[in-house]
Amino acid sequence: MEQVDSMRVVYSPRHHLHDPDFEVTGGRRIAGYEVAARVESIRHALESDPDFSFEAPGTFGIGPIRAVHDAGLIAYLESAWQDWRARGTGASAIMPDAFLHPGARAGMGDAPAPSSPCGQAGYYCFDTATPIVPGTYEVTRVACDAALTAADGVLSGERSVYALTRPPGHHSARAVFGGYCYLNQAAVAVEWLAGRTHDRIAVLDVDYHHGNGTQQIFYDREDVLYTSIHADPSRTFPYFAGHASETGAGAGTGTTFNQPMPAGTNDAQYLEAIERTLTRIEAFRPAVVVVSLGFDTYGQDPIGDFALTTPVYHEIGRRAGALDLPLVIIQEGGYDVANLGRNAREWLRGSAGLAPAFAAEDGVKAIGS
Ligand SMILES: [Zn+2]
């Protein structure tokens, strides 16, 4: 039998079917940052590296998604485009024009789900950066299948498997979606792993943004540790979650660990934060670590305001790999398409105990451990 010692990468070209051509951010209509070229940049970087091998996602059905998301949200995402085409405004993408703000219903109880396509959009979506287009539901389902394929890989004995997916997922909560995210593939993988292992699962969320959706889904769970290092929500999306004071509730008290970071966060500051996070994860003694991997922490990223450099991604990956726990690595954000592939390759090589690639290529000095 041929020995397979390369890191498995789960990838499907079907992500191209989700291709919104705009978003509204900060009051501006712009082309949109969450584009297919992001994942293709990473694919090109890894395909040229013999230490990685590609495979297609398996099929896991709707069950693992129902275990995490509200049935109304799933049904909405599945039928939204067809309904919009039949009864919507004729626009090429679905975007809400009114939101279910809690203040509008304060003291009056819950609102029933509206029947109009625009009303439903504002009932299930919380921002103006997450349009639904014809392929959106299919692609977010493929992303969940890819995350579950990676999870299945580590349960079958792999040290780590990487799900190279888009759109990202960690902003989507149990019953609402937003932040470029529709279904939360990291949360789906966590719940599936918890059910299979009957053991503790930890999340290491290193996207620039706080993973408000993942935090919410597991906020009261004692068997799931959610950790995140992210831009302080007082200045950055998702604005309403991610503060250090949020530490879990009920049986999950103490199983959320947030480290909000200042603008300009550099390699040294980030590594100190990673050390604190990894210490918490080790103390939790999880069976598996699910990594929400984002590269919008990079100094050149058009959305983020951190100052991380390419070499630090290898070091962060190396330290995560040194936990010596199975890693299910799921791609989240990162919008500097030109450097995304290089940064991802370094992180993944570090996590697998492989030497950096950058030193040979461009003489960048490695960061010592
Ligand atoms: Zn992000």
d(CA 144, CA 186): 8
pTM over the 0.85 mark: yes
Classify strands 23-25 and 256-261 as parallel, antiparallel or unpaired.
unpaired
Residues with CB under 5 A from ligand 1 (ion): 207-209, 294, 296, 333
Whether the Cβ atoms of residue 331 and residue 299 lie closer than 8 Å to each other? no
- CA–centroid distance, 114 to ligand 1, in Å, is 30
Token pair, residue 16, equals: 């191209």
Host H or E run for residue 228:
strand 224-231
- CA–centroid distance, 89 to ligand 1, in Å, is 30
- CA–centroid distance, 296 to ligand 1, in Å, is 6
d(CA 141, CA 326): 24
Sign of CA dihedral 56, 60, 65, 71: positive
Active site residues: 171
- Side chain identity, residue 131: P
Domains recognised in the chain with CATH numbers: 7-70+135-362 (3.40.800.20)
- CA–centroid distance, 342 to ligand 1, in Å, is 17
d(CA 357, CA 342): 9
pLDDT tens per residue, the chain (369 residues)?
444 479 999 999 999 999 999 999 999 999 999 999 999 999 999 999 999 999 999 999 999 999 999 999 999 999 999 999 999 999 999 999 999 999 999 999 998 889 999 999 999 999 999 999 999 999 999 999 999 999 999 999 999 999 999 999 999 999 999 999 999 999 999 999 999 999 999 999 999 999 999 999 999 999 999 999 999 999 999 999 999 999 999 999 999 999 999 999 999 999 999 999 999 999 999 999 999 999 999 999 999 999 999 999 999 999 999 999 999 999 999 999 999 999 999 999 999 999 999 866 555 666 654
- List CB contacts of 84: < 8 A, sequence separation 6 or more: 91, 94, 117, 132
